[in-house]
Amino acid sequence: MTALIQQNPSDLASQVAEYFRRSVGNWHSERRYYTLPEGDTQEVASEITIEFLDQGCPDLINIAQLHELEDSIILTCGSKVNWKSSNSVSGKKLSKGATVFGVSETLLYRDQGFMTPKPVVAQYYLVDANTLCLRTEYNGSVFEEEIKLVGQRYRTRQTIISRAGEQTMIGQYLEKRIE
């Protein structure tokens, strides 16, 4: 996995910190999940709150401890995401929770994965100042995600989940900043 823009790790860390700062705020997310190969769909709406985390804050120290990193302040910055989700069609509440991301060079440490409560690590890169890409592998699955800031008010996201070389799910998201 390589970035389209070649960067040294310290430049990349400062650029992802700026990306996280620009993502701070409240967002309304409309998403659709396609299960492959059947094509079954699920529509989900979420209210998301994103916070920026500075190096040395308790949340990042906790992530470092979860991952058994030798230096508890190695994570240079991070992001905390809180969400509440419901089925877009029925309105039925689906989930609520929070996850924390911490950055160290070209790795993004998380307190939990999309499909596991265990800590996970993603490789990341920036295509440009507005587009963050992640690749995470665990439990035999690969999660590839692209999150793109579109102006000040929108984000798009796409997640592709694969298992044994076959795509099993695609998630597409449109997120609008709530003023």
CATH number at 107 reads 2.40.128.20
pTM over 0.85: yes
Per-residue pLDDT of 39-61, as tens digits, reads: 889 889 999 999 999 999 999 99
Domain count, the chain: 1
Mean pLDDT of 74-81: 96
CA distance 124 to 119: 16
Higher pLDDT, 10 or 120: 120
With respect to residue 1, please indicate whether it lies within any of the assigned structural domains. Answer: no
146 in a structural domain: yes
Let me know if residue 27 belongs to a domain: yes
Kindly state whether residue 125 falls inside one of the protein's structural domains: yes
6 burial type by CB count under 10 A (0-12 exposed, 13-18 middle, 19+ buried): exposed
Residue 3 lies in a domain: no
Contact 21, 154 (CB under 8 A): no
